[in-house]
Every structure is written in structure tokens, then in C-alpha cells.
Amino acid sequence: MHPLANPNVASLALMFHENVKKFASQTLYMSKRNGQYRPLTYQQVGQIVSDLALGLASLGIQRNDKVAILCPTQEEWAMSDFAILSLAAVSVPIYPNLPPKQVEYILHNSDAKVVFCSDAEQLDKVVAVKANCPALTHAILISDEDKKTSWVLRFQELQDAGRTFGKSHPNHIEQAISTGTLNDLATIIYTSGTTGLPKGVMLSHGNLLSNLIAASKVLPFGDGEILLSFLPLSHIFERNPGHFLPVFNGCTIAYAENIEKVPQNLAEIRPTLMTAVPRLYEKMYAKVRDGLATAPPIRKKIFAWALRVGEEARVSGKKGFRYAIAHKLAYSKLHARLGGRIKFMVSGGAPLSKEIAEFFGNMGVVILEGYGLTETSPVITVNRPEKVKFGTVGPVVDPSIEVKILPDGEIVTRGPNVMLGYYKNDEATNEVLDSDRWFHTGDIGFLDEDGYLTITDRKKNLIVTSGGKNVAPAPIENTLMTVPYCEQVMVIGDKRNFISALVVPNFERLRAYAKEHNISESSDEQLITNSEIYKMVDELMQKAQDDAGFARYERVRRFAFLPKAFSIETGELTPSLKIKRHVVAGNFNTLIESIYNKETETTNEDKGKE
């Protein structure tokens, strides 16, 4: 019986334990141990999860208690999550890259009683702040490192305690699951907002299950598929599509060793499905472009021909002899890097450049871009394998989800996937959820005649020039990021008479360019002040904007190089790697002013055109 067939007992825990029985002998998780990927079956994982759950019960964890997970993406994260849910308790993910003060805020605000820590580094954060977290009683250390203190248990010790507890409470998990309903709180996910303190998004079992059912109808996550997981499980984009959805459909999840090892792990695992953020696709695109830059002229011609053949096949839906030749000569290397078995990839978390999506599509790699937020569990819209519209994020994932555009362009949505509210924050809840349960996303966009949604930008990010023109920075930034020498870009120009940008360059490529063109600058600092290099990058940026067709008032006219990348440590990036624009603007205020204090390039005639 489907877990939603009886709403009185529906829960993510029920889904998990029923699928453990259904797919018992199939591989659920694969993780690298001692240089080899080791499989764990659904049945094996189910036993570990049950032992962990009973171990938590032995520590006093009950229905609605909060348990945090401070850990990178790995199988222990996933099993801890299902163990928490198996007690009708509430899981609270915490990004492992957060500093102790922010860890303290989440532990304290969520009333977490127990926290899973991946290693000594994460445990040290908890030890440092425990005195300020009155609800916290225990930490569970996943690694074999020093436990530090008596209130810390090892992962294995928790399982041992669970087995002992289970002997005297044989039906404890079944009883906990039987009390669950769709409206029960499943998780509190703290959003890594670009302003202010993070807010705890409350998602119910019904929110998440409704999204799993909707996504399963339109995305062919079939029994036996293999998915490579490497994005943060603390983020809803990996949590639901990359964690719950594969289990919901009887798939296998292989965990990458770390983000740097993803290319190697792709070749080892040869996944059939993958979720990723645009940055991965941007890097792959840049690598292909770099290879072509030094390729012989004949190879460049063959590649250009192959892309045209791929585009024709994509548009017509027909692949013939020419396509087979093009695949062998040009596409096969990209497919090999992805493991050779990818059916499609899903992109989310940030806007994907239309140029990059089309490039992959022309090479036979389907990227399905979707859209959603933590508050919407997350998927609102997604492109379909049978009909991809590049540059859009697709139609609604399910008819139960409504989307409409307000007069000011803001996207609002309503449906079973919309959150319960923000934890302990009614004021913030009421700001985004109106009386009719429409959730105000804060994003600007429009729907086309087929119901496909296009996102323009965040409402709060819109730039209003001194000439009164509204400029959305995200499309410009995405375009400039296709320039191989641009690593990070932030467009600025609010209340200014033209648009400019701060650019973090790809120093490795700049050094290669300097060497090739006999530019003898000895340091990165000298490279970014070299006029020849500035001119070269500026010309590429202007060409990219020409090709994208931006209006004159939207174009970046000047930019400044930055000496180092934006980072979480400097407060310039959120844990999910979104730019905190107000922080960057403050950190580089003097540099920004120098851009606009130069003799203006905008004539009175130009201003009139704007």
C-alpha cells in the first residue's frame, strides 16, 4: 500500500521501512571504504537505522523532539535522518561549514536534544557552545576520534544501546510510526539567508511526501537507478531529490568522497542520474572550452560541426548517421567523464545559463532545470525529459501546485508542498504566507503560453539605475560566468548611472594567458592590474553580452578584478554559496566607488537613451 493511501499513518519513516522490506536485497547505499566502494543493501541499512533509532530512544528521544545532524554528505547522515524520523522525532540539519556561533544559534533555537557530529572538528564546535544550549544532552560522534567528554557517544555505541533497548521494547519503532500523520513536523531546515539570522523552515511529512509523489510522476527515477550524491544534505535540493526520492523509488545512492573527487567518482560509479548545481555544469563547460582553445583548427571545425548536428537532432528529435558520427568524434568524451550511463541530470539551487544548458543538450546530455525553495519542499516546477525549454525552469511539477504572477512580477505559489511556517517566528511566517496560503517566493518571473516558468531574479536583488531602469543582475552574471576567465561575478549599479561588476578571475587561466602572451607579471596581484589582461577580459565580456542581447542599460560597462574569491569565512557567501550582496558591497565599497569616480563614459546622449 502506498504510504499516502492511509493519511492516518503516513510518514517518511513508513515509506522508508516499507521500502526496506520491498527492496531488501537491492543496494541502497555505496560509500568508499579503504579505496573501494562498499555496498549496503536496503535490509542492512534498515537494521542500522532501527538500531540507531532505538539508541536515540534509550537517550529519551520521543515524538516531536529535535535531533540535529552536523555532518557532510555521507551514508551516516542519511541513516541518522531516517533513525530520527523513525521515532516521529524532528531532524535538524546543520551545514558543517558553519562556524561555532551559527551552530550554537541553530542548536539553541531548535531546542535540539541530541546532535550527530561527523568528526572531531564538528564535535569541537558543539563542545564549545553546549553551555549555551540548555536542551542539548548528548552528541553522537560518527568517526573513531577522541570523544572528548562523557556526554558523547560513538555511532557504534548508539547502535549497541539500541539493540539492548530493543530487547525490552520490541515494537517501539512500529508504535512510533503508527502515531504519525501527514501534518506532523518532519524537519526544521534553517535557510542560509543572504540577510539576517537564518529562519527555521518547518516541513511536514505531507509536504515532503507530496513532493516525492509529484516528482516521481514526471522524472523517471526507476527501480535500479544509481545516483551520485555530493551536494550538501543540509540543503533541501539534495535532501529531497537526492536523499528521499531515490529511496522512495528503490534506487541506489552512491556517495562521492568529497567535491574534489566527483570527477573520479563519476567514472567509478557510472551513475544513471545526478542532481547538481549550475556551478558543476559551468566548470565542465569551461573545461571543454579550455580544451578547444588549444586544439588544432581541424578539431575545432569538427567540434563546431558536431554541435550543429546535435542541435538539429535535439530540435527535430531525430538522430541519424551524422549524429552517430558526431557522438563518436565529439560527444563521447563528455559522456565518458559522466560515467557513460547518464540518462539525465537535474539542475537546481541557482539559475543555469541557457547557453550552457543548450551546449550540453546539443551534446546529448539532458539537464532538467527546475525551481523551488526550502519553503516549498522544494520542487515547484521542473522541465520534462520529453519537452525541455532551455532558459526556463519548466511547468508545475504537479497539478496540485498552483503558480501565479503578481502585478509586480513576483511569483507566488500554493499547494501541499508549502511549508507549515517558520519555527518560533510567526512574524516572518506572516510576511510570506498570506491568509489564502499563497507563499510569496520573493522571486521575479513570468509564465509562457505553455505554462513554463522563467525566473528573472530575486525581487530584493533588482537594481534600479539612476535613470529609473530596472535591471535583474542574475541573467547578466550568468552570462559573464561563461567567460572562461571569470570565476565569480557580482553585478552592481543600484542608483548609479550605469551597470558595473566585481569579478573574481580564474587565476589559473590568467596565468596561462600571461605565459602564452609573454606577459611577465610575477604575482596574481600584478596580473589583475595589467591593462592588457583587463582589456582582453573586457572584450570577452562585451562579446558575451552582445551575444546575449542585453539592452544598453543592462550591460556591464566597467568592472574591477578582485584579488581573492568570495568565501563563507569572510561572510560574503551563505553556506549554500549564494553571494551576500550587501556584505560584498560593504567589503569592497572603496573599490566600487573608484569604478564610478572615474571619468564617466556615459554621455548625455547615452543617458537619454537609458
- Specify the long-range contacts of residues 426-432, CB closer than 8 Å, at least 24 apart: 428/199, 432/375
- The distance of Cα 462 from the centroid of its chain, to the nearest Å, equals 22
For the packed helices 42-58 and 12-22, what is the interaxial angle rounded to 10 degrees? 140
Domains of the chain with CATH codes: 12-181+219-269 (3.40.50.12780), 273-340+342-459 (3.40.50.12780), 462-609 (3.30.300.30)
Q: How far is the C-alpha of 192 from the C-alpha of 374, rounded, in Å?
A: 10
Q: For the chain, give percent helix, strand, coil, nearest 5.
A: 45, 20, 35
- Which pLDDT does position 194 carry in this prediction? 52
- The three cell numbers of residue 499 are 551597470
Question: Residue 371 in contact with residue 348, Cβ under 8 Å?
Answer: yes
Low-confidence ranges of the chain (pLDDT < 70): 1-9, 192-196, 599-610
Distances (CA, A) of 311 to 176, 325, 361, 384: 54, 14, 8, 18
Question: Residue 595 in contact with residue 493, Cβ under 8 Å?
Answer: no
**Residue located via cell numbers 529519551:** 60
Q: What pTM was estimated for this model as a whole?
A: 0.87
45-69: b (≥16 Cβ within 10 Å) or e: bbebbbbbbbbbbbbebeeebbbbb
496 phi and psi angles, rounded to 5 deg: -105, 170
Nearest CA-CA partner of 545 in 482, 460, 462, 489: 482
Question: Residue 48 in contact with residue 118, Cβ under 8 Å?
Answer: no
Question: Residue 221 in contact with residue 251, Cβ under 8 Å?
Answer: yes
Q: Indicate the helix (H) or strand (E) that contains 287.
A: helix 278-293
Burial class (CB in 10 A: 0-12, 13-18, 19+), 329: middle
**Could you read off the pLDDT of 350-399 as tens digits, one per residue?**
889 899 999 999 999 999 999 999 999 999 999 999 999 999 999 999 99
Q: How far is the C-alpha of 356 from the C-alpha of 490, rounded, in Å?
A: 19
- Which pLDDT does position 196 carry in this prediction? 66
Residue 437 has a CB neighbour count (10 Å cut-off) of 11
270 phi and psi angles, rounded to 5 deg: 50, 65
**Could you read off the pLDDT of 146-197 as tens digits, one per residue?**
998 999 999 999 999 999 999 999 999 999 999 889 999 999 999 865 556 8
Q: How far is the C-alpha of 555 from the C-alpha of 544, rounded, in Å?
A: 10
Alpha helices in 379-488 (DSSP H): 426-432, 473-480
Question: Residue 206 in contact with residue 416, Cβ under 8 Å?
Answer: yes
